[in-house]
Copies of this chain bind each other. A is one copy, B any other.
Amino acid sequence: MIKVGIIGATGYAGAELVRILLNHKDCEIKWYGSKSYVGQNYADVYKNMFELVEDECLDDNIDKMAEEVDVIFTATPQGYLSTILNEDILKKVKVIDLSADYRIKDVDIYEKWYGIHHGSPELIEKAVYGLCEVNREEIKHTRLLANPGCFTTCSILTAYPLVKEGYIDGNTLIVDAKSGTSGAGRGAKQQNLFCEVNESIKAYGVATHRHTPEIEEQLSYAAGEEIVISFTPHLVPMNRGILATEYASLKEVTLPDGSKGYPTSDMIAEAYNKYYKNEKFVRFLGEGATPETKWVEGSNFVDIGFKVDERTHRVVMMGVIDNLVKGAAGQAVQNMNLMFGLPEDEGLRMVPMFP
């Protein structure tokens, strides 16, 4: 039985970790860490957990926690973990960080986009970026796992095969992303009130959103060259789900018949199948499919479709995830499974809920 501690168990991502781990047959949550609810019953903070969780919320003392558990999940504000994590802790426990602190290899880029001083840059090198479908082998051997962001998971996986195959020009990539409101967290802010969000849609963080450099870094690795993209998130009046609609110009390549030309729909479908056919959690829906966030709600799936626009020689790629599952807690558990040698889908066989 893997003993689990969670720092930030009372945020939405933390609560989703709890929901998933309660049905994970090899795990036991030993420590519900919180900042605001210490001493309160966890089931009073999340009433859906009544009779399912009997524990009280504890504090977020990572040193003490490291003595008592095998793995710590951190679902904490940006910058916080970097100030408390160190080698000693990592010797005792594995750490899976749902914040952004160890995702970006270049600490200057991190500090610039986040406007935060990084407290332990020396650990960044040790961290593995936990996009399972791309970094599976490294993940298995790390003790410090940087769990990808919600927008980034969706954005990267949707474009990855076409970038990797050199079918699209990375610098033409535009990611127009739409997210449910749970991504904004459980903090009491006027802008996230029901009446402010409901019956409305808006963009935010235009040209400045912090997930941009994370997407760029990973896609640059795939492309073998630096890529600069446009990324625009939008807030949608729904609880869960991210849809990334991605646009890129096709590059002229050598076609199967030896001539030069734009990749065909068949070639693009083949590229997706090449990378994802054996991936349990990526479902490639085929050409012309327009995935809906509802098709993956509550599950760890990424659903992907695409359409070639012959008039503009662009391809429109579309991917959806549940931001709290594949975009946060589910992917974190997928990473844990890899790090502990368990079946990758253990505890993650949730069937999407519809409607």
Contact = CB atoms under 8 A, between A and B. Distances in A.
Interface stretch (A26-34, A91-99, A200-208): A200-208
A259 interface: no
B198 A194 contact: yes
Interface residues of A, number: 84
A352 interface: yes
A72 interface: no
Interface-central residue, A298, A299, A309, by most chain B CB under 10 Å? A309
A1 interface: no
B228 A195 contact: no
Given A48-B296, A174-B247, A230-B312, A355 B237 contact: no
A3 interface: no
**Best-buried of A182, A241, A245 by chain B (most CB within 10 Å):** A245
A351 B23 contact: yes
A238 to B, nearest CB: 5
A198 B23 contact: no
A201 B351 contact: no
Given A202-B291, A236-B237, A307-B207, A196 B228 contact: no
A235 to B, nearest CB: 9
Interface stretch (A81-89, A139-147, A184-192): A184-192
Given A228-B311, A351-B52, A243 B234 contact: yes
A65 to B, nearest CB: 23
Contact of A241 (B200, B234, B299): B200
A22 to B, nearest CB: 5
A199 interface: yes
Contact of A283 (B50, B186, B239, B308): B50
A287 to B, nearest CB: 11
B290 A207 contact: no
B48 A290 contact: no
A237 B237 contact: yes
A292 B237 CA distance: 12
Given A23-B349, A292-B200, A51 B188 contact: no
Given A199-B355, A201-B243, 18 more contacts: A19-B352, A23-B350, A23-B351, A46-B354, A49-B352, A50-B295, A178-B178, A192-B193, A192-B195, A194-B196, A195-B239, A195-B355, A199-B238, A202-B243, A206-B288, A207-B309, A207-B316, A236-B236
18 contacts: A19-B351, A48-B297, A48-B352, A174-B247, A187-B190, A194-B198, A198-B198, A199-B293, A199-B297, A201-B236, A201-B238, A202-B293, A203-B243, A206-B309, A207-B309, A207-B316, A228-B312, A232-B316
